[in-house]
Amino acid sequence: MNSLASWFLWRIMTLVMPLVSLSQTSEYDYHAVWKPDVPISDRFYDKPPQCVGIPDDLRLCNGVGYDKMLLPNLLEHESMAEVKQQAGSWVPLVHKNCHPSTQVFLCSLFAPVCLDRPIYPCRWLCENVRDGCTPIMEAFGFPWPEMLTCDKFPQDDVCISTPNATDASKPSGYSPVCPPCDHEMKSDAILEHMCASEFAIKTKIKEVKRENMDRKVILQKKKKPVKLGILKKRDLKKLTLYLKNGADCPCAQLENLGNTYLIMGRKVDKQYLLTGIHKWDKSSKEFKKTMKKLKSHKCPAFENVFK
C-alpha cells in the first residue's frame, strides 16, 4: 500500500476529529466520519474484493496519484475488462478540461484507492464536476448518467474531495470554443468525436443560422457518406444539423463556408446534433493518418454508460 493509502487508512482508524482534511498540497482531501450503509465486504460478488495494480491501459486513471485500486470497484464492476470498457467512455470528457477535478471524481469510483471500506466522492465534488461538464456532454447529446446521480454520495461524512473543490471558478485550460469545434486537426480529437457520433459525412456548408440557443447548420446538397450508421442515403438529402447550445460560442469552421469538412453527428430526440467538424484536408499528414485509423479504431461503448 502506498503512502497516500496508508495515511488515509490510519486516519479512518483513528477518527480523531470530523471534517479534518489532508494537506492542501495533496491531490485529495478526505473527510470523516461516515460508514456506508452496505460495506463493500457485505455485498454479493462472485469474487471477494482485492487490491490490484492500476493497468497502464486504464487511460482514465493514469497519473491519478496512486497505483493500486480496489476490485470490484464502487460502480460494481467485477472484472478489469469491464472497468476498462466502461471507463474508456469518460476519457474524452477528461480531455475537454470541463472541470479540474473530473479525473479525481471519476477515478474515485472506477478505480477506488485500496482501503478496508469503500470511500465515495463527496456530493459537492460530484455536483461541481456535473455542473462543469454537463454542458459539454449535452453538446454531444449525452445526459449526465443516472449511475452518477450526485444525491447518492455523502454530504457531511467520510468522502473524497479535492483542494478548493467547492470553488465555482472555471477550470484552468477552459476554452470557450464549442466542444465539437475544438482541436480541429488532432488525430485523437477526431477519433473521439467520431466515437461520440452515429454518422459522418464529407460535405460543404451552405448556411449557418441562429435558432434560439443553438446554431442551425444547413449543408450543401452534395454529401459523401463516410459512416452512415443510423442514416439512410435518402436521409442525407434533407439532413440539417444543430450545434447544441452553440449560438454564442466560437466555431471557426462554421465561419468559413468555402471549405470541405468531415462532419459528424448523432440523433437526439428529433434533432440531428453536430458532434464534430474537421477540415477535409488530404495535404495534412495528421488528417490522412486519422482516416486510416478509422478503419480499425475501436470505440468505447458510450450507450452502455450514458443512459
Task: Please list the residue range(s) of the chain that carry CATH number 1.10.2000.10.
Answer: 3-161
Confidence of residue 158 (pLDDT cuts 50, 70, 90): confident
Amino acid letter at 225?
A: P
- pTM, whole model, 2 decimals? 0.75
pLDDT top residue among 7 and 236: 236
Backbone CA torsion sign across 87, 93, 95, 97: negative
How far is residue 123 CA from its own chain's centroid? Answer: 18
Instruction: Report pLDDT digits (tens) over 247-268.
Output: 999 999 999 899 999 999 999 9
CATH architecture designation of domain 179-299:
Beta Barrel (2.40)
Q: 216 in the Ramachandran plot: left (φ > 0), alpha (ψ -120 to 50) or beta?
A: beta
Ranges 40-44, 192-196, 258-262, 288-292: which has the least confidence = 40-44
DSSP result, 65-121:
S-SEEEES-TT---SHHHHHHHHGGGHHHHHTTS-TTHHHHHHHHHS-B--SS--PB
Q: Which CATH number fits domain 3-161: 1.10.10.10, 3.40.50.720, 1.10.2000.10, 1.10.760.10?
A: 1.10.2000.10
Q: 4 or 113, which is more confident?
A: 113
User: Percent of the chain at pLDDT above 70?
Assistant: 78
pLDDT at position 297? 83
Every domain of the chain with CATH number 2.40.50.120 lies at: 179-299
**C-beta of residue 90 within 8 angstroms of C-beta of residue 12:** no
Asked if the model's pLDDT at residue 9 lies above 50, the reply is no
**What residues does 274 pair with on adjacent strands?**
265
Cis peptide preceding 72, ω within 30 of 0: yes
What is the predicted pLDDT for the residue at 307? 54
Instruction: Tell me how far apart the alpha carbons of residues 186 and 208 are, in angstroms, rounded to a whole number.
Output: 24
Q: What's the mean pLDDT in 283-291?
A: 90
Contact criterion met (CB below 8 Å) for 273 and 242: yes
Whose cell is 467547492? That residue is 166
**Measured distance CA(73)–CA(90) in Å, rounded:** 16
Q: What is the pLDDT of residue 123?
A: 95
Question: Which has the higher per-residue pLDDT, 155 or 129?
Answer: 129
Q: Give the span between the Cα atoms of 225 and 235, in whole angstroms.
A: 11
Which pLDDT value is given to residue 96?
Answer: 86
Q: Which residue has the higher pLDDT, 128 or 175?
A: 128
Question: What does pLDDT average to over the chain?
Answer: 80
For residue 33, whether the previous peptide bond is cis, meaning omega lies within 30 degrees of 0, is yes
> Does the pLDDT of residue 125 top 70, yes or no?
yes
Average pLDDT over residues 137-165: 86
Contact (Cβ atoms closer than 8 angstroms) between residue 161 and residue 198:
no
